[in-house]
Amino acid sequence: MTACATTGLLVTSMTSAEARDDDASTWEQRWHPFREEWVLFTAHRGGRPWRGEVKAPAPADVPAYDPTCALCPGNQRLGGTNPAYAGTFWFTNDLPCFGPDAPPAACDDDLYRVRPAHGTAEVVCYHPDHSRTIVDLSLDEAAAVVDLWADRTAALAVRPEVRHVLIFENKGELVGTSNPHPHCQIYAGDLIYGHTAREVESGRRHFERTGRYLGQDVLDRERSGGRVVVENEAFVACVPWFARYAYEVLILPTRQVSSLLDLTAGERRLLGAMVREVATCYDNLWRMPMPYVMAVHQAPADGGDHASYPFHIEFHPPLRKPDTMKYLAGPEIGGGSMTNESNPDAKAAELRAAAGPHYRSGRSVEPRP
């Protein structure tokens, strides 16, 4: 399949349901319009023999309460005792990476620049049950998580030292999280994180060049390109044409918004449902808890005009097969550009086929929207 960047015409020679990894063009680079960088596609190499380490699925037998967990209700943690919370719960990270009392920079040097790291960091627990993940939450509970993200964004964004609120979830041991308690983190400091800083510029440049919103133009392409995984009235999840990881998913809003603060209460509820749906597709794909890094990309809180910023949520799973990691190595760490060894059309079809009730039985949740 080829897309013409100048006319917007989409020429497709196959439906995504028929797409396979080895159908993808070989030796092709695709432009990542949000990050404004090239991604190298080498789907013809995805099936090469692997003689390295294989990853076993995470253990599924997790207790509802763990007396050693720093996030469970009533438990002691470094900075105090958790209340016996019943729904969501947030607290200031006991070891925040930004500080309210950061000391002044030691010196001012044109080459080796330095500045204090003002701000704070928070932890958000989705649910008191240690054994659950987002897929096990009811729609009300998932909506409460997104409501809390928006509430914390609003509270943190007005602080004078905060220029960006980054919300992210590291899920699973493969991305460095040994505690399965359902939670995410919020970093709020005077650093505008790099991807967001780039998306500020790419969104603005696209709007100045075309008079259209970058996020909405990408949404149109993904819909017409057949890479939608699931959608509801306010959000679309897709494996983008320019995906950097095999099973990368973007959740895009169906109207231009730049942050969680722009969403209506109804949209926040639909976003909670969509996050749950994407996580369910992931788990169903290989019938195992899927590890991922999830990041909420929202406009900086630096007082600038970010009307063209493309709000979205990104999921980056580290696995490209149930037992095989996508290792970042020479091209990625050494060279600084991503290589994707898969065909996004085929990966979207795989995830789409995995939509529906979660594979695990015994969980009582409401019907999906």
**Of 32 and 127, which CB lies nearer to Zn ion in the complex structure?**
127
Binding Zn ion (rule: CB under 5 A), the pick from 118, 164, 171, 181 is 181
Using rule CB under 5 A, residue 69 touches Zn ion: yes
Instruction: Kindly indicate which of the ranges 3-11, 45-53, 64-72, 102-110 contains the residues binding Zn ion, using the contact rule CB under 5 A.
Output: 64-72
As measured in angstroms, the least distance from the Cβ of 57 to Zn ion is 20
101-108, Cβ contacts within 8 angstroms, sequence gap of 24 or more: none
Report the residue number, 85 or 359, with the smaller CB distance to Zn ion.
85
Angle (nearest 5°) at CA 315 between 310 and 316: 120
Amino acid at 224: S
Among 32, 164, 183, 312, the one annotated catalytic: 183
User: Beta-carbon neighbour count of residue 333 at 10 Å?
Assistant: 9
299 binds Zn ion (CB under 5 A): no
Q: Minimum CB separation from Zn ion for residue 87, in Å?
A: 15
CB closer to Zn ion, 127 vs 227: 127
Spatial CB neighbours of 341, under 8 Å, sequence gap ≥ 6 = 21, 42, 43, 45, 46, 246, 320, 326
Note the Cα 321 to chain centre separation in Å. Answer: 19
| Alpha-carbon distance values, 100 to 95, 96, 97, 161, 164 (Å) | 12, 10, 10, 8, 15
Minimum distance of Zn ion from residue 133's CB (angstroms): 12
Q: Which stretch binds Zn ion (CB under 5 A): 8-16, 50-58, 179-187, 204-212?
A: 179-187
Using the minimum distance from each CB to Zn ion, give the nearer residue, 72 or 219: 72
d(CA 124, CA 166): 12
How far is the C-alpha of 299 from the C-alpha of 68, rounded, in Å? 37
Residue with Cβ nearer Zn ion (71 or 249): 71
One character per residue 78-117, x = contact with Zn ion (rule: CB under 5 A): ----------------------------------------
Give how far the C-alpha of residue 96 lies from the chain's centroid of Cα atoms, to the nearest Å: 21
- Rounded Cα distance, 81 and 98, in Å: 22
Q: Check residue 130 for interaction with Zn ion (CB under 5 A).
A: yes
Residue number, nearest CB to Zn ion:
69
Q: Is the dihedral of CA 245, 249, 255, 256 positive or negative?
A: negative
Residue 91: beta bridge partners?
Answer: 123
Binding segment (CB under 5 A) for Zn ion, from list 126-134, 158-166, 224-232, 265-273: 126-134
183 lies in the site for Zn ion, by CB under 5 A? no
Q: Report the alpha-carbon distance of residue 315 to residue 317 in Å, rounded.
A: 6
- The pair phi, psi for residue 174, each rounded to 5°, is -70, -20
Size of residue set near Zn ion by CB under 5 A: 6
If the CB atoms of residues 137 and 230 are measured against Zn ion, the closer one turns out to be: 137
Is residue 72 within the footprint of Zn ion (CB under 5 A)?
yes
Q: Output the smallest distance, CB 131 to Zn ion, in A.
A: 8
Which range, of 55-63, 128-136, 219-227, 316-324, touches Zn ion by CB under 5 A? 128-136
Binding residue (CB under 5 A) for Zn ion from 71, 200, 274, 275: 71
Nearest distance in Å: CB 90, Zn ion: 15
124 binds Zn ion, rule: CB under 5 A: no
Strands 76-77, 37-41: pairing kind:
unpaired
Query: 119 vs 128, which CB is nearer to Zn ion?
Result: 128
* Dihedral sign of CA atoms 326, 332, 337, 339 in order: negative
Which listed range, 134-142, 176-184, 185-193, 223-231, lies at the site for Zn ion (CB under 5 A)?
Answer: 176-184
Task: Answer whether 159's CB lies under 8 Å from 217's CB.
Answer: no
CB of 66 to Zn ion, least distance (A): 5
Q: Give catalytic status of residue 183 as yes or no.
A: yes
91 — phi, psi (to 5°)?
-150, 160
Distance, CA of 220 to chain centre = 20
Active site residues: 183
Contact set with Zn ion (CB under 5 A): 66, 69, 71-72, 130, 181
